[in-house]
């Protein structure tokens, strides 16, 4: 999807954390300008270390729910951040993102998601627990992850895609999904 965008491109990374998603994008498009927004100064400090000496990278501390998104952007990306907003906040943010994109720009959200019903949600959760234990996470780590997840406000893929369409996105899709995680995208 990003292949039809200009090179270099202007990218906004919301809830950027340590800048991992922006770094992956710059691996493919090294000359792209990226602006990282995160509510945590500590996370942005790690992002600054990741991009030390890199040109075309800027940072802002701010809450994605209320921060000025600037623009216009060729792409707005986010990973594992928007699920912290309540559903009304997600819908409002999707509209703001749509308005911050250039015509033809892409919104790409790699996100933690909910299953469409309680039975599927429990099955998805148990598969995730099995996977993280199999990967070597001890029970203290599992308990810590469970505690962090208590604060998550996940929405299912179908609802989020509908909210993106309501915000004016086209070519709305979820091209990848694996259990509790999915990529959601739409074009301005």
Q: For all residues of the chain together, what is the average pLDDT?
A: 95
Phi, psi of 169 (to 5 degrees): -75, 150
Mean pLDDT of 79-88: 97
pLDDT value for 91: 98
Whether the predicted pLDDT of 6 surpasses 90 = no
pLDDT value for 148: 87
Q: Which residues contact 105 (CB under 8 A, 6 or more apart)?
A: 5, 72, 73, 74, 75, 76, 187, 188
Whether the predicted pLDDT of 74 surpasses 90 = yes
Q: Which stretches of 135-182 are DSSP H helices?
A: 139-149, 157-166
Read off the pLDDT of residues 146-186 as tens digits, 9 standing for 90 and up.
Answer: 898 888 999 999 999 999 999 999 999 999 999 899 999 99
Measured distance CA(106)–CA(109) in Å, rounded: 10
Q: Which residues contact 13 (CB under 8 A, 6 or more apart)?
A: 19, 21, 22, 25, 34, 35, 36, 37, 76, 77, 78
Q: Which CATH architecture has domain 2-114+154-187?
A: 3-Layer(aba) Sandwich (3.40)
Phi, psi of 107 (to 5 degrees): -110, 125
Mean pLDDT of 57-65: 96
pLDDT value for 66: 94
What confidence category does residue 96 fall into, taking pLDDT thresholds of 50, 70 and 90?
Answer: very high
pLDDT value for 69: 97
Strands 101-112 and 181-187: antiparallel
Mean pLDDT of 127-137: 92
pLDDT value for 149: 86
Mean pLDDT of 28-34: 95
Domain ranges of the chain: 2-114+154-187, 116-151
């Amino acid at each position: 999807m990003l292949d039809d965008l200009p090179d270099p491109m202007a990218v906004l990374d919301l809830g950027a954390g340590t800048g991992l998603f922006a770094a992956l994008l710059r691996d493919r498009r090294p000359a792209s300008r990226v602006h990282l927004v995160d509510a945590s100064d500590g996370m942005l400090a790690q992002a600054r270390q990741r991009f030390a000496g890199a040109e075309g990278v800027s940072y802002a501390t701010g809450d994605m729910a209320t921060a000025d998104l600037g623009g216009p952007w060729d792409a707005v990306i986010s990973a594992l951040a928007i699920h912290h907003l309540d559903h009304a906040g997600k819908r409002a943010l999707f509209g703001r993102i749509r308005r911050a994109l250039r015509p033809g720009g892409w919104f790409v959200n790699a996100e933690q998601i909910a299953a469409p019903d309680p039975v599927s949600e429990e099955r998805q959760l148990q598969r995730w627990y099995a996977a993280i234990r199999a990967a070597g996470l001890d029970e203290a780590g599992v308990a810590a992850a469970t505690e962090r997840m208590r604060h998550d406000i996940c929405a299912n893929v179908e609802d989020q895609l509908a909210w993106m369409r309501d915000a004016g996105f086209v070519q709305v899709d979820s091209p990848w999904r694996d259990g509790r995680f999915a990529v959601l995208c739409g074009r301005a």
